[in-house]
Each structure stands twice: as C-alpha cells, then as structure tokens.
Homo-oligomer: A and B are copies of this chain.
Amino acid sequence: MLLESVPNFSEGRNAETIAALRSSLETPGISILDVHADADHNRSVFTLVGDPAALVDALFAGIRTALDRIDLRRHEGAHPRLGAADVVPFVPLLDTPMEEALRAARSLGERVSRELNLPVYFYEEAATSPERTNLERIRRKGFEELRDAIGSDPDRAPDLGPAEIHPSGGAIVIGARGPLIAYNIYLNTSNLAVAQAIAKMVRHSSGGLRYVKALGLDIPERGCVQVSMNLTHFQRSAIHTVFEMVRSAAEAHGVAVTDSEIVGLVPAAALLDTAKHYLRMHDFALGQVLELRLLEKES
C-alpha cells in the first residue's frame, strides 16, 4: 500500500526552517523524492512516499515543526495560504485504492485537530460536502480573512477541531486526490492566438476534457508558443487523448506539435497507459513491469 503526499508549507525563504521541516518528515519508511522551495511564493513543497501509517506519522511531525517555526502573522508571499502547514494532499500510487488515501487524510486530520488544536478542512475526495471539494473555495482570501470568519460564518466552520484559528499557525487543509500532471505541448509557431485557441478547446472550463486545465503561453526563449496544462485525473482524461486532441487541432490551424514535456514527477501508470494505447495492448497489466513488481514486493 503506497501513498504519496505533497505537503505545502508556508516558508520558502528561511533555509533553516526548510531543513527542519525536511528532517521532521524524514522518518523511518519514508522516502523524500523532491523538495521545492519557492522564495517568491514563500512556500515549500515536499514529495514524500511511504505506506499510509508511516506517512501520517511523518506528516504529523512535519506539521508540528511548521507550527513551532512559522508565524503567519509575520508571513508574506505571493501564494494564498491558510496555515503554516497549509495543504496536505494524499495520493494513491500503483494499485492502492483511493479509499486508502482518504483514510490517511482522515487519520491525520483527527490527530492534528486533537493533539495540535488545529482547525482542519478536508478537500477533494476527502471533502465532507460538495462545496468543500475545491481547495480554492476553502482557502478563499487566506489566513487573515479566515481568522475573522471562522467563528461567525457557518459556511467556514472547520470539519474538525476548534472554531478558531491557531494564532500563529492558522488552519490546515487535508485531502485525498489523484496525481496532478503538469503537461505542456509546444507548437512550431509564435502565434499566441493559436495556443490560446487550442487551450480553450481542450480545457474543461470551455467545453473540453473533464480533467484538463489549459492556458496558451508565449515561450519567447524558444521562439514559440505552448499549450500549458494540468491533468487532474489521467485515468479519465488520458495524456494520449490530450496529445491527440492538441495535435489534430494544431493541424487544423496549419501548425505542428514539435514536442511535449512533463514538468516534474509523473506516476508510471500515466505513461504506461500511453504505451498501451498506441501499441493496442488491451490486456497489459502494471504488474508486468519489472520495476513496479519489485516495488510491490518491497513495500
């Protein structure tokens, strides 16, 4: 049973605090695959993998460190945030069912509300009502706004924990979701309008694929434009479906796809689905991939 978690902490500048967060998270059974600290956003994002129980322990330790070291009353940064430990999603890997991610989210939520006295909101697959599915809908204008509203506006009452924010640490949003894939497709044109038209066609908000967010962007250093996307559910809106839609739309505009890229990490299944599709391998199982079988044996 493997889960990934990608906790976001509201500190992207102080190297000592980032190192302290890291060492709290680095507990037995946990692999830290990536650390990304952003000074503009004043925010750091860790990518952890482990079994559910080990992950909950590691994240609890990380959240406690965030509360000890980060004071939101003195925090500035471009990114909206509600808490010192701001957002903690759990993501199932390999054949782990979503229910395991949800269970881990609930278990961490209960523990931080009880032991750290933090207000907890659950989002995405862990949401307690449809309105709480969306992270932005929970976070709204952030810490300063929630401080006033949490006790008075019933719509902002936490799912667990006290109906007042932690003075320095705010609140925390914990969830379960599928993996996010940042996927970009480059076109052999510098005409931004073409990328924007294709982005509009492929994205959910304007009639495209259900689990695709897309923007057309100019990439001056490459002298071309890009369709920049977030794929939020690759099992339903697959990478190859997105690629073929963009390729065909580009052709219709008289331009071509030069290449595509995945930014950051991607779960193996997303690209194996792509290979299965093009090779017409209807019966292929993930367990046939040697390295994945090895990982399942070890975990």
Interface residues of A (CB under 8 A from B): 2, 4, 31, 33, 47, 49, 93-94, 179, 239-240, 243, 257-262, 264-268, 271-272, 274-275, 278-284, 288-295, 297-298
Contact = CB atoms under 8 A, between A and B. Distances in A.
Top 5 nearest A-B pairs (CB, nearest first) are A271-B275, A274-B275, A259-B280, A31-B297, A278-B278
Contacts of A281: 259-262
A230 B49 CA distance: 36
Given A274-B278, A278-B278, A267 B283 contact: no
B295 A295 contact: yes
B93 A290 contact: yes
A284 B274 CA distance: 14
A87 to B, nearest CB: 19
B261 A289 contact: no
**Identical subunits present:** 2
Contacts of A271: 271-272, 275, 289
Contacts of A258: 280
B267 A291 contact: yes
A261 B285 CA distance: 10
Contacts of A93: 290-291
A258 B279 CA distance: 10
Contacts of A179: 290
A249 to B, nearest CB: 15
A289 B267 contact: yes
A62 to B, nearest CB: 18
A33 B275 contact: no
A244 to B, nearest CB: 9
A163 B204 CA distance: 72
Given A260-B280, A294-B31, A297-B31, A268 B268 contact: yes
A161 to B, nearest CB: 31
29 contacts: A2-B294, A31-B297, A31-B298, A33-B290, A33-B293, A49-B290, A93-B291, A94-B291, A239-B279, A243-B279, A257-B280, A258-B280, A259-B282, A260-B279, A261-B283, A265-B289, A265-B290, A266-B290, A268-B291, A268-B292, A271-B272, A272-B275, A274-B274, A274-B275, A275-B275, A275-B278, A278-B278, A294-B295, A295-B295
B33 A294 contact: yes
